[in-house]
């Protein structure tokens, strides 16, 4: 492990998965539309689907399809999602290089996601990303989910890290609020599609915003 450059106030970097490291936006939207077509015989506005990004899937299903059995809807969604997930996901530009550089500089790293472990593993394996994470926490590891701090607190415990020495990168307000609730500094990625401008400017907005992946390195060493 190499020495960190400069005198960073951080020793731990936590990442969200969907929409942050991995571009899963289209497969998520298509999986929802497939579910709506199957159950309701129609599609819904894409904006409605994007507004659910970052939420645990089961909770969203129960809210959006209250007159239908949630487990049936989940099975429809996950069957479609599973069949094409690995082939359709891509890693965001520059993220692979940033993950590699962060590990070279000696930071502890974690991944926190509301996604199931099986598809998280598929995404990490496709791009050989396991090597860049010291801890991975998925939906099955938690009783509560973002924006509750529990997933992040579990990750920090696994890493033996302190909140004040940690920073979390995400693409939704669930990620940002989760970080704030855990006492962790937050970074919103500029390629996020589920965050509105008024949310960013509010008092509950992110501590930092980056427009490209390697901007994170400047924050870490700033």
What are the residue numbers of the active site?
Answer: 16
- Band the pLDDT of 1: cuts 50, 70, 90: very low
Q: Is 140 helix (H, G, I), strand (E, B) or coil?
A: helix
User: 102 or 6: which carries more pLDDT confidence?
Assistant: 102
pLDDT in tens, 70-109: 999 999 999 999 999 999 999 999 999 999 999 999 999 9
The boundaries of the domain holding residue 47 are 25-88
Q: Which whole-number Å values give the CA distances from 9 to 28, 118, 204, 211, in the listed order?
A: 36, 34, 22, 22
Residue where one domain finishes, among candidates 88, 107, 136: 88
Boundary residue ending a domain (73, 88, 103):
88
Peptide bond preceding 49 in cis form (omega within 30 of 0): no
pLDDT in tens, 15-69: 999 999 999 999 999 999 999 999 999 999 999 999 999 888 999 999 999 999 9
The residue assigned the tokens 């929802």 is: 32
User: Does 213 lie in the same domain as 113?
Assistant: yes
3-state secondary structure of 215: helix
């Amino acid at each position: 492990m190499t020495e960190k450059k400069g005198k960073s106030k951080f020793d731990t970097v936590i990442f969200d998965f969907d929409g942050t490291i991995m571009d899963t936006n289209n497969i998520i939207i298509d999986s929802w539309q497939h579910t709506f077509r199957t159950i309701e015989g129609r599609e819904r506005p894409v904006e409605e689907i994007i507004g659910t990004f970052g939420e645990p899937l089961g909770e969203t299903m129960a809210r959006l399809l209250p007159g239908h059995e949630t487990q049936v809807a989940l099975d429809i969604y996950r069957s479609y999602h599973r069949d094409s997930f690995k082939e359709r996901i891509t890693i965001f530009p520059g993220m692979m290089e940033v993950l590699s550089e962060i590990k070279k500089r000696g930071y502890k790293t974690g991944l926190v996601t509301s996604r199931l472990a099986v598809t998280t593993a598929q995404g990490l394996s496709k791009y050989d990303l396991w090597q860049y994470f010291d801890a991975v926490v998925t939906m099955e590891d938690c009783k509560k989910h973002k924006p509750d701090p529990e997933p992040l607190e579990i990750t920090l415990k696994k890493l033996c890290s302190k909140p004040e020495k940690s920073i979390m990168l995400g693409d939704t307000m669930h990620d940002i609020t989760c970080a704030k609730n855990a006492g962790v500094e937050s970074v919103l990625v500029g390629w996020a599609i589920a965050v509105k401008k008024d949310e960013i400017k509010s008092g509950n907005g992110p501590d930092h915003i980056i427009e490209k992946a390697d901007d994170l390195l400047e924050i870490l060493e700033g």
